[in-house]
Chains A and B, each alone.
Chain A
């Protein structure tokens, strides 16, 4: 500590000191400095490139060379609304996303409940690791593995053969199984977190007031954990809505992602116009989720 005698100016501070003093005195500059990099990434890289992509929905391509032609037109939107196949594919994809969400919720809930409320600490930690481990494996590896499982010679048919049944795995049902498998961890974890947050005292109070286990479950636990389920469903729904790799490998029907992927190279305007459909659907879904307070449970 340098001693300062009265009448003398304080010693000059180094540049680092001066910067920290300045930031201390100007909290707004601090805030902006902190937000600058992520803000730049979000604005320039993410939103900016999305806007450039979606702008091309108003353009068209040369009918021979497939080159982009910068002429304003609403033809792409007209084509998407009028041609039945685009409607069918959108409905099929949304239905698949909903089916996957329901399946994931049904499978994840018992597991998360066991992990949160019943399992010992050691078992719980092991289960968390077990649930997260598939996320370490590459998506493609998992998809190809399921291709083998679902094939005519695969494990499923090996079980069903002696019973005289056959399962056509390369169908939308097979795809539904694959999606459920892929996104299950994303549903287990929010539900687990939601269930953990319920104070045990609430359940005891319910029992004290005469509620048996099923009643407590439906009247106390479920309403409290429902936002967490919705939060998990955001992941499963949106991931299924946009996916194109699993449908290409497993099924032979078209989905929104596969259509966009095919059109993307030489028919960019149609792909961009069609890409607005999942964006609009997710917007709507998120608005509903927000109403159901899911954002507080992620």
Chain B
């Protein structure tokens, strides 16, 4: 009897192993498709055809920054496409979501768009099929984060800075510098109450501060750093790390909660959290400090393997419309790119408050982008630290 059960057990184990290895073989066998800028399959060739095909598709699946999808009910009743969204925590998170192939597109910042254009995960956009594209500010079009080889790859969404936010009952109201989270004495004073964005892109914020305070390092672009500049930024971050109370992981709820409770009194944030805290009457202020700041200019892009390309094109057109631009700009707290939205915001001064038309204000806002080994300059002799090394360094900094 024991011999029989032994034999059964042995055959069962062999069977399991075979099953497992067959899965592995299937997984390894599939090669990757090479990313070319092929035309999007299933896309209509005119706006009328797109509207028709969209009715058949019936839905659009998006990866977005929190609260970026606005007026979805109006959109659905106008086009017949239901909107399903997934919030991304960081650009890395969004890239891996897009790689699953389950999404038709989304709103991406420069550090995601550059990579996805390079791999071919997103497709070029035929702007003739997006009527509202014509109303978007010319200054945002044709940038290196939303176009490749002079072809537009997305529909711009809006832009904003990463603010320095602080509770006005803990820090002086005239705080105007990033020093409160970088200088030794301030770090000690605010120990345990600092709230920092948990992503490797934050290394650029250290670089922005070093650009202003240590000019002999020669930092020009906080995303393209030589090894020496990078090491200085990492050293600064490692000095800061023991004093940080929380690293908020793209989960805005955590940061909103900690500022409301007073567990955090100073940190980096997106305008969205600042607006939510203001609505809840928490005494906070958010500023762009005098050293400048990092920021983001976001773009709606369509996946090159989108299952619902027509609904996606209608969505991109919808988000470029003045109504949607006004709604999302006020909801998130950013500057719209379609200036017709400025007449529709409930706060008539929204566009001035958020500098939508003031290019000089954006000169010291460094939009998120991807570190490139070539330093993105014409000088062949310079090499910069790679995206992979940024990511690896962040794990070390966090300790």
Contacts and interface: CB of A to CB of B under 8 A. Distances in A.
Contact of B8 (A28, A66, A70): A28
Contact of B96 (A39, A89, A253, A264): A264
A23 interface: no
Contacts of A63: 373, 386-389
Nearest to B253: A144
Nearest to A40: B19
Contact of A151 (B24, B258, B372, B388): B258
Contacts of A35: 12
Given A66-B387, A152-B262, A252-B247, A88 B23 contact: no
Interface string A204-222: 0000000000000000000
A248 interface: yes
Tell me whether chain B's interface is mostly helix, strand or loop, or mixed.
helix
Nearest to B98: A265
Interface stretch (A11-19, A42-50, A93-101): A42-50
Contacts of B372: 64
A67 interface: yes
B158 to A, nearest CB: 24
Interface string A56-90: 00000111111110100000000100010110110
A155 B261 CA distance: 12
Contact of B119 (A67, A83, A259): A67
Interface residues of A, number: 50
Candidate in B16, B245, B257 with the most chain A CB atoms within 10 angstroms: B16
B57 to A, nearest CB: 27
A236 interface: no
Interface in B79-98: 92-93, 95-97
A70 B372 CA distance: 22
B399 A44 contact: no
B288 interface: no
A263 interface: yes
A55 B32 CA distance: 17
28 contacts: A39-B19, A42-B16, A43-B18, A44-B23, A47-B16, A48-B20, A48-B24, A49-B23, A55-B27, A61-B388, A63-B373, A64-B386, A64-B388, A66-B115, A68-B32, A83-B396, A86-B395, A153-B261, A168-B192, A170-B245, A170-B263, A249-B251, A252-B247, A254-B395, A262-B394, A264-B96, A266-B96, A270-B392
Interface of A: 28, 31, 35, 39-40, 42-44, 47-49, 51-52, 55, 61-68, 70, 79, 83, 85-86, 88-89, 147-148, 151-154, 168, 170, 248-249, 252-254, 259, 262-267, 270
Interface of B: 8, 12, 15-24, 27-28, 32, 92-93, 95-97, 115, 118-119, 192, 198, 244-247, 249, 251, 254, 257-258, 261-263, 370, 372-373, 386-389, 391-392, 394-396, 398-399
Given A42-B16, A148-B257, A152-B263, 20 more contacts: A63-B373, A63-B386, A64-B386, A66-B388, A79-B392, A85-B395, A85-B399, A86-B395, A151-B257, A152-B262, A153-B263, A154-B261, A170-B246, A248-B254, A252-B245, A259-B395, A262-B395, A264-B96, A265-B93, A265-B96
